[in-house]
Structure 1
Amino acid sequence: MIRTSVALGAILALCAPLSVSAQEVTLRLSHWVPPSIAPASKGIEPWAQSVQEASDGRIAIQIFPAQQLGKAPDHYDMAAQGIVDLAWVNPGYTAGRFPIYGLTQVPFLVDDSIQGAKAIHAWYMENGAAQEMGDVKVCFFHPHAPGAFHSKVDVTHPDDVRGMNVRPAHQGISRFVSLLGGGAVQVPAPEAREALSKGTAEAVTFPWGAMYDFNLSEEVPVHLDMPFYMSAQVMIMNQRSYDGLSDENKAVIDDHCSPDWSGRVAAGWHEDDMAAKDRLMADEAQSFNEPTEDEIAAWISAAAPLTEEWKAEVAAKGHDAEAILQAYKAALEEYDAAY
């Protein structure tokens, strides 16, 4: 019987589809947004598909969306600890953990998400990744188009935020809201609508596409029409998962962890955001406020302390904050992404 089972197993192996025998590894990728929206459908999924195609099917990527495997703030640790092989992370969800990367959260520094993604990639891999994310492999940076301030009532000047409860995009905007005299309501993106509908929050900072992705347009129909901030998610890979790949498969992953790919995944999200903004502007129920030059200057001035706070925090960790800041500004200028 043993010999018969072995023989049968051999026959079945020979008859197996070539695609199965050619597949060497399946990587589990987790993210926390619905699979139908732009970050996934126009960024994460095309990237995963390209990895599979470039490897001639040797690498399969199994995607788990919408917090199926863990809450959004847990995704860095999920990848670092090997719970998943790949994770899409918002560093801003874990306050103080990645102080160098926190510079990307300071508003009014970046005005182009596609070129900005490339600039952030080039800058951070040289100035922070080894220090802050050295226990994982950093693959790409994935910002949305510069987000806006969306509210239930008119907001055109920093003084308008005083006394207002705002769901911030990340820790940087949370600090900005507090600096302006507002209250920060800390909930993950998928829970923002509930906070608004219950009156826990009166405003949000979000990319334009999120108005439809999370059904927020009726809750916050008033929009401040200026590039307000950017949130750049990061795709990371468990280091052991990467180290266990063949050299040939490592080369495929390396090719997909580059400034070029950061720009490519950002492009799909940018396109979706701009289409959503156009759709909102065509909706008579929505209101857009374009700030004056003086109001823009007031916002930029109000945010200036955030850079100084960032410098102090990074310096306290033993880093040369001024050099890192100048390297960031130089990268933004080089890639034509400076505000």
Structure 2
Amino acid sequence: MNIKTVALALGASLVMTTSALAQEYTFKLHHMLSAKAPSHTEMLEPWARAVEENSGGKVKIEIFPSMTLGGRPPELIQQARDGVVDLIWTVNGYTPGLFPRTEVFELPTVFKNDPVAANLAMYDMFEESLKDDYKGLEVMFLHVHAGQAIHMRSDDVRSPADLAGKKLRIPTRTGAWVIEALGASPVAMPVPELPPALQKGVVDGALIPWEIIAPLKIQEQTEFQIEGAEKERLGTTTFQVSMNGDRWGSLPPEIQQAFKDASGREWWGEVGNVWRATDDFGIELAVKSGNTHTTLSEEETAAFREALAPVVDRWIDDVSSKGIDGAGLVEKARELIATNGGAS
């Protein structure tokens, strides 16, 4: 081995050693969708890289998609709370009743069509009104998707009566109440289980955003995608990226700050933009594949609003029985969504 070869080998070894020393904190982030899903490529990866950069290379976040560390999507919250993994991205509603205050943002007529405004409203309400939902966890950020739209295997939908007797998939209890208010039967399941359920006729349709069309090829299992006037939706779903509370508490201030700087108010708003853009891509894909995109008239949309008004009252009664000011949360959420409207 000549001197040049030895020098190159030593140099490479030094770079590897320096890199290993620099990455003093490694975190595992676990989630339920594939590495090709927009939630992974457009949200989780950029956020993780921002944390790493903020830390000066001391942090490494390894992302494990598609439940590759084991378990089913509803188990992600417990995995984080138990410290089985460091970080999770999950649907709050996969564990019904654990995040009652945050559910206010899922309600129809509270959330209509603006994920940016909803995310910013959650940020503004978090410390005072939502934080008690997240004991044992350190929330990095919360977000919603672009809203529940109706996807049907073979039926167009123009009125609540068109859904009577149908079976629809939904991941959350608030979504189940929406489906019941429309005269249909809710079928709870994590979204990765939806494609075979549609193919086999286990469900007639689903309440999901357009975003999920591409990663799960929903356009191949449905014929109709339906939403209200001006992209109005039937509520939405809340999500979280959270860390095990003990792991968070063990980190030095400068590492905590690296996470905080990547997870500020501006980022919560940007996540709303990500989900709006991927939603638009999803519906374009469905239409190009030959599906029918139905936009309800204002009159037809108003009929859905009227049918769904009791869902908000049901939620207020439910959380109020647990000592939570449901009416106050609805009022505050609506006010802040309106204030943050048009922030994208």
Is the shorter-chain TM-score for this pair beyond 0.5, marking a shared fold?
yes
Mapping of 1:157-196 within 5 angstroms?
Answer: 157-196=159-198
Q: CA deviation at 1:15?
A: 8.2
- Contact 1:43–1:266 (CA<8 Å) still a contact in 2? no
Which has the higher mean CA deviation after the structures are superposed, 105-114 or 185-194? 105-114
Q: 2:291 matched to which residue of 1?
A: 286
Q: Which amino acid aligns with 1:25?
A: Y
Q: 1:65 matched to which residue of 2?
A: 65
Q: CA deviation at 1:14?
A: 7.6
Q: 1:96 matched to which residue of 2?
A: 97
Whole-Å Cα distance in 1 between the matches of residues 222 and 331 of structure 2? 37
User: Scaled by the length of structure 2, what TM-score is found?
Assistant: 0.89
Whole-Å Cα distance in 2 between the matches of residues 107 and 259 of structure 1? 24
Structure 1's unaligned 5+ residue stretches are 1-12
After superposition, give the CA deviation of every residue in 1:205-228 in whole Å (9 maximum; x if it has no partner): 111121221111121111113232
Residue identity over aligned pairs, in percent, reads 27
Q: 1:107 matched to which residue of 2?
A: 108
Q: Look up the SS of the partner of 1:52 in the other structure.
A: helix
After superposition, give the CA deviation of every residue in 1:54-81 in whole Å (9 maximum; x if it has no partner): 1111011011111122211111111111
Q: Which amino acid aligns with 2:223?
A: P
Q: Look up the SS of the partner of 1:181 in the other structure.
A: coil
Whole-Å Cα distance in 2 between the matches of residues 222 and 202 of structure 1? 11
Q: CA deviation at 1:117?
A: 1.3
Q: Look up the SS of the partner of 1:217 in the other structure.
A: helix
- Contact 1:119–1:259 (CA<8 Å) still a contact in 2? no
Q: Look up the SS of the partner of 1:84 in the other structure.
A: coil
Q: 1:39 matched to which residue of 2?
A: 39
Q: CA deviation at 1:172?
A: 1.3
- Contact 2:54–2:261 (CA<8 Å) still a contact in 1? no
Out of 271, 278, 282, the residue aligned to residue 277 of structure 2 is 271
Q: 2:202 matched to which residue of 1?
A: 200
Whole-Å Cα distance in 1 between the matches of residues 283 and 225 of structure 2? 10
Which has the higher mean CA deviation after the structures are superposed, 285-294 or 191-200? 285-294
After superposition, give the CA deviation of every residue in 1:104-147 in whole Å (9 maximum; x if it has no partner): 22123222112321112222332122x21122111111322233
Q: 1:140 matched to which residue of 2?
A: 141
Q: Look up the SS of the partner of 2:220 in the other structure.
A: coil
Q: 1:124 to 1:337 in 2, by over 3 A?
A: farther
Q: Structure 1 segments of 4 or more deviating over 4 A?
A: 13-16
Q: Which amino acid aligns with 1:282?
A: K
Out of 209, 216, 223, the residue aligned to residue 214 of structure 1 is 216
Q: Look up the SS of the partner of 1:128 in the other structure.
A: helix
After superposition, give the CA deviation of every residue in 1:142-161 in whole Å (9 maximum; x if it has no partner): 32223310102011111111
Whole-Å Cα distance in 2 between the matches of residues 279 and 193 of structure 1? 16
Q: Look up the SS of the partner of 2:286 in the other structure.
A: helix
Structure 2's unaligned 5+ residue stretches are 1-12
Quick check: 1:322 aligned with 2:327? yes
Quick check: 1:300 aligned with 2:302? no
Q: Which amino acid aligns with 2:181?
A: L
Quick check: 1:19 aligned with 2:19? yes
Q: 1:172 to 1:191 in 2, by over 3 A?
A: same
Whole-Å Cα distance in 2 between the matches of residues 115 and 106 of structure 1? 14
- Contact 2:31–2:65 (CA<8 Å) still a contact in 1? yes
Two-structure CA RMSD over aligned residues (Å)? 2.0
User: Scaled by the length of structure 1, what TM-score is found?
Assistant: 0.90
Q: 1:86 matched to which residue of 2?
A: 87
Q: Look up the SS of the partner of 1:17 in the other structure.
A: helix
Q: Which amino acid aligns with 1:292?
A: S
Whole-Å Cα distance in 2 between the matches of residues 325 and 167 of structure 1? 25
Q: 1:323 to 1:15 in 2, by over 3 A?
A: closer
Whole-Å Cα distance in 2 between the matches of residues 302 and 21 of structure 1? 60
Quick check: 1:76 aligned with 2:81? no
Out of 261, 264, 289, the residue aligned to residue 255 of structure 1 is 261
Q: 1:15 to 1:271 in 2, by over 3 A?
A: closer
After superposition, give the CA deviation of every residue in 1:252-294 in whole Å (9 maximum; x if it has no partner): 11222322211223322321211222232334x2112221222
Q: 2:9 matched to which residue of 1?
A: none
Q: Look up the SS of the partner of 2:183 in the other structure.
A: coil
Q: CA deviation at 1:180?
A: 2.0
Q: CA deviation at 1:312?
A: 1.0
Mapping of 1:219-234 within 5 angstroms?
Answer: 219-226=221-228, 227-228=232-233, 229-234=235-240
